[in-house]
């Protein structure tokens, strides 16, 4: 059977790339399974997409926000009927297990539902003026065409959470999804097309980040850039876009801690840590990668985690019963194994895992064991650098204060969690944790459409995503002064 070739979606139509080049979309659980081929686009494709977005802007901006949002509502209905299809495609191209893929599609649907509603609420403020009979208020206006760049680890939800608010705000979109996961974004684009979005309002260009991604981000017409991915690339994009005065938001890496105090509910903590560290093969920006435990509960918790990690069923996420899928590709697998090797070299104690899995069908995928290290030193690479794999670093703390200091002792600041029965300790942790999102007695992972999502320190720059903030990012405020005396001659001295 011939392999399906995906096109770019530009100016309302699926078109082949001008380069004629494609890359295969491979299942990381089984490299014999090639899902499709996606374009390796070039500069002409990037330019054509922004030409279309630029042409579409005047009439899209003139379309009332509730009407713009109705297209998103239609896409929600279309995709609701395809939840299974999208989840299966995602499972095959990214490797996450089917239940997680379904969860991600559901999250994307929640975001579509939320932003469809926001079209009715795109509001400024009416504020009093110093001057009598003067109406002063703010209007929210779209910034213009925008460039969106997304990673492979949430190949459906992130394209949704960037594009839906941009569209509702009135900004034509050019999206470049990660080359490793083209199909999930295509299924979203199909829904936008079927929802009847006017041509040029939504454009999708595939290709390498280093070539076409860079061109899109650098296009003078991209008035805002929204990026999710690694720190190194995000900061580069931030710098370049700042130089030409574009608005930028970058959501980047994490090194998220869970603190467990002696008084914690052990069962609850084990569940949350296993889900946070090994769910999605550790390939979540909010994954739990550090566990900081006080002395009284340390050994019991480590024992429980070891046996849970050993019992996890690793394999192809489409198979029933499988609990953890593969690394997304050869490069990520090598990164996981290198981090494991370095941790051993740095003197950490390998409690379980640590090896690539190659038995039987697993040899055709990029599988690594769920891995736990104890005796990790705070300054070592495993305690400081994002692995983006199923590798948990356990650090021991002597007190709450030491645990909090260790939790904050990284350059990242995305999510954190504490397990304790003490309201006092929980409140002090909420106050002191240097993150964008803090959890109490639950895993570090997860987010909801209506709640702002994003990090501080080296994790995030710009506006929070999702929620109302995610919409506001794509707008600027226009301040209006309307003197309705019609005859006042003196000028406001302020
Ligand atoms: P990545 O390598 O930084 O890539 C992200 C996207 O940027 C991809 O589409 C990539 O294209 C593109 N890109 C690469 N170089 C570029 C350039 N010079 N100009 C413009 N675009 C460029 O990240 P990843 O490996 O896909 O994702 C993993 C990272 O994302 C982790 O660090 C994770 O923590 C982070 N993440 C953060 C959040 C958050 O909300 N904080 C959420 C999810 C993931 P190609 O790869 O297709 O070539
Ligand atoms: Mg990458």
Q: Tell me the average confidence (pLDDT) per consecutive run of 10 residues in the chain, 494 residues long.
A: 91 98 98 98 98 98 98 98 98 98 98 98 96 96 98 98 98 98 98 98 98 98 98 97 97 98 98 98 98 98 98 98 98 98 98 98 98 98 98 98 98 98 98 98 97 98 96 98 92 79
Helix or strand (DSSP H, E) at 233? helix 231-243
| 375 contact partners, CB below 8 Å, separation of at least 6 | 347, 348, 349, 394, 396
| Sign of torsion over alpha carbons 101, 106, 107, 111 | positive
Q: Of 46, 95, 213, which is best to mutate to test ligand 1, by the most ligand atoms within 8 angstroms of its C-beta?
A: 213
Enter the CATH code of domain 256-440: 3.40.309.10
Ligand 1 is surrounded, with C-beta below 6 A, by 149-154, 176, 178-179, 208-210, 213-214, 217, 228-230, 233, 236-237, 251-254, 285, 386, 388, 414, 455, 459
List the domain boundaries for the chain.
4-252+459-479, 256-440
Nearest to 479 by CA among 17, 124, 89: 124
Q: Considering every ligand atom shown, identify the ligand nearest to the alpha carbon of residue 249 and give its number.
A: 1
Q: What pLDDT score does 185 carry?
A: 98
Give residue 226 CA to ligand 2 midpoint distance, Å: 16
Q: What is the C-alpha to C-alpha distance for residues 430 and 437, in angstroms, rounded to an integer?
A: 9
The ligand whose atoms approach the alpha carbon of 453 most closely is 1
User: From the CA of 405, how far away is ligand 1's center (Å)?
Assistant: 29
Q: Rounded to whole angstroms, how far apart are CA atoms 117 and 407?
A: 37
Tokens linked to 107: 């999250």
d(CA 430, CA 442): 13
CA of 250 to the centre of ligand 2 (A): 15
In angstroms, the CA 70 to CA 163 distance is 14
Of 3.40.50.2300, 3.20.20.70, 3.30.499.10, 3.40.605.10, which CATH number belongs to 4-252+459-479?
3.40.605.10
**Ligand 1 atom with least separation from CA of 236:** 18
* 251 noted as active-site residue: yes
Residues 154, 96 contacting (CB under 8 angstroms):
no
Closest residue by Cα to atom 23, ligand 1, is: 229
pLDDT given at position 1: 63
């Amino acid at each position: 059977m011939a392999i399906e070739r995906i096109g770019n979606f530009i100016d309302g139509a699926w078109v082949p790339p001008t380069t004629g080049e494609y890359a295969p979309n491979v299942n990381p659980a089984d490299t014999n399974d090639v899902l499709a081929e996606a374009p390796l686009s070039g500069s002409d494709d990037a330019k054509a997409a922004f030409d279309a977005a630029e042409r579409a802007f005047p009439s899209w901006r003139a379309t009332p926000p509730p009407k713009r949002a109705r297209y998103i509502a239609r896409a929600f209905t279309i995709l609701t009927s395809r939840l299974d299809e999208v989840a299966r495609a995602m499972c095959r191209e990214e490797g996450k297990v089917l239940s997680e893929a379904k969860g991600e599609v559901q999250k994307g649907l929640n975001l579509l539902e939320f932003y469809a509603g926001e079209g009715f609420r795109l509001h400024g403020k009416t504020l009093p003026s110093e001057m009598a009979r003067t109406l002063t208020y703010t209007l929210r206006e779209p910034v213009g065409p925008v460039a969106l760049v997304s990673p492979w680890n949430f190949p459906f939800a992130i394209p949704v959470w960037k594009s839906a608010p941009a569209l509702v705000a009135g900004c034509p979109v050019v999206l470049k999804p990660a080359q490793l996961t083209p199909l999930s974004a295509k299924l979203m684009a199909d829904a936008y097309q079927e929802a009847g979005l006017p041509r040029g309002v939504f454009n999708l260009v595939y290709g390498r980040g280093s070539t076409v991604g860079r061109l899109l981000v650098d296009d003078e017409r991209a008035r805002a850039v929204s990026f999710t991915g690694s720190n190194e690339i995000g900061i580069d994009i931030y710098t370049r876009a700042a130089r030409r005065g574009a608005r930028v938001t970058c959501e980047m890496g994490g090194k998220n801690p869970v603190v467990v105090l002696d008084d914690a509910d052990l069962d609850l903590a084990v569940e949350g840590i296993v889900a946070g560290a090994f769910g999605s093969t550790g390939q979540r920006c909010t994954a739990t990668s550090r566990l900081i435990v006080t002395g009284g509960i340390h050994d019991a918790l480590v024992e429980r985690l070891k046996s849970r990690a050993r019992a996890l069923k690793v394999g192809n996420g489409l198979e029933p019963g499988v609990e953890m899928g593969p690394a997304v590709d050869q490069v990520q697998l090598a990164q996981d194994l290198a981090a494991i090797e370095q941790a051993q070299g740095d003197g950490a104690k390998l409690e379980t895992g640590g090896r690539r899995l190659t038995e039987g069908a697993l040899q055709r995928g990029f599988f690594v064991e769920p891995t736990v290290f104890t005796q990790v030193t705070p300054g070592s690479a495993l305690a400081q650098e994002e692995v983006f794999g199923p590798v948990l670093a356990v650090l021991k703390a002597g007190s709450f204060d030491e645990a909090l200091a260790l939790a904050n002792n990284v350059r990242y600041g995305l999510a954190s969690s504490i397990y304790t029965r003490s309201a006092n300790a929980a409140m002090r942790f909420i106050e002191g944790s240097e993150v964008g999102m803090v959890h109490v007695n639950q895993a570090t992972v997860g987010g909801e459409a209506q709640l702002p999502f994003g990090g501080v320190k080296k994790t995030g720059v710009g506006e929070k995503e999702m929620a109302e903030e995610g919409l506001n990012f794509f707008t600027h405020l226009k301040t209006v002064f309307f003197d309705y005396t019609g005859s006042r001659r003196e000028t406001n001295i302020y």
